Amino acid sequence: MSTQKVQIVEKILDANDQLANQILKKLNDAEIFAINIMASPGSGKTSVILKTIEKLKGEMNIAVIEGDTAAVTIDADKVTALGMPAVQINTGGQCHLDAVLMEQGVDALDLSDIDLLIVENVGNLICPASFKIGTHSNVVVASVPEGDDKPYKYTNIYRGIDVLLLNKTDLLPYIDFRLDYFKDGIHALNQNLKFFEVSCKTGEGIEDWIDWLREKVKAQKNHR
């Protein structure tokens, strides 16, 4: 019985990955660079997205897919208030976005007028790690108040990401957060990721993140 369960899970993930690859091809054909942002609730991933839009507005066209377990549009409304299109995906209580939900979001957008697609996944560090959704890069937003032990507790998600933003660094003088310990945990799992120390409140480190995005969007436009 246990073997049968494993086989069923493998089939689900295989089907999801196949659809994710189709989504990625669709985005490549449209020359769109897409990122999947994951984080714990309260880490500041929405703040990172809004700061990113503010910095790049007028320079490139950005769209956002918002994944949420409830039918609320709070975050999507913040994006549209900045003049960018947003699609709200209600997962119906599901703790992550998958390729099926991602496809719905992508199909609701006009891909001919997008340079950068930002996906805000459901807020947790477990479920989203297992499901590909067809983006080019996986990004995690961690934060100083969460503590420095997260890489040691949630290894799967840190192994599978391309970029890590440590947010709320303005709080480092006030919180017992061992930055070296945090970095050691990250590098033991993933030596190749890009690491940015940022503060959405002060703006520290944000330009480095924005420069990385600029390079990726430009490369995507020139990939042919």
Tell me, what CATH number does 8's domain have?
Answer: 3.40.50.300
Centre a 10 Å sphere on the Cβ of residue 171 and count the other Cβ atoms it contains: 14
- Asked if pLDDT for residue 6 goes beyond 60, the answer is no
> What's the total number of domains in the chain?
1
- Asked if pLDDT for residue 152 goes beyond 80, the answer is yes
Percent residues over pLDDT 90 in the chain: 83
Task: Round the average pLDDT of the chain to a whole number and report it.
Answer: 93
Range of the domain at 70: 2-221
Encode pLDDT of 27-85 as tens digits: 999 999 999 999 999 999 999 999 999 999 999 999 999 998 876 688 899 999 999 99
- Asked if pLDDT for residue 184 goes beyond 90, the answer is yes
Q: Angle formed by the axes of helices 2-29 and 99-107, to 10°? A: 20
Please state, in angstroms and as integers, the Cα–Cα distance from residue 48 to each residue in 38, 55, 143, 150, 199, following that order. Answer: 11, 11, 11, 19, 9
- Asked if pLDDT for residue 12 goes beyond 90, the answer is no
- Asked if pLDDT for residue 93 goes beyond 90, the answer is no
Compare 142 and 6 and report the one with higher pLDDT.
142
Residue 110, sorted as left (phi over 0), alpha (psi -120 to 50) or beta, turns out to be beta
- Asked if pLDDT for residue 118 goes beyond 60, the answer is yes
Question: Could you tell me the two tokens for 61?
Answer: 């066209």
* pTM beyond cutoff 0.85: yes
Q: How high is the pLDDT of residue 69?
A: 80
User: 16 pLDDT band (50/70/90 cuts)?
Assistant: very high
User: 1 pLDDT band (50/70/90 cuts)?
Assistant: very low
Q: How high is the pLDDT of residue 91?
A: 85
Q: How high is the pLDDT of residue 4?
A: 53
- Asked if pLDDT for residue 101 goes beyond 80, the answer is yes
Encode pLDDT of 192-224 as tens digits: 999 999 999 999 999 999 999 999 999 999 875
User: 3 pLDDT band (50/70/90 cuts)?
Assistant: very low
Q: Residue 73, SS3?
A: coil
Residue 123's nearest CA partner among 69, 63, 167, 77 is 69
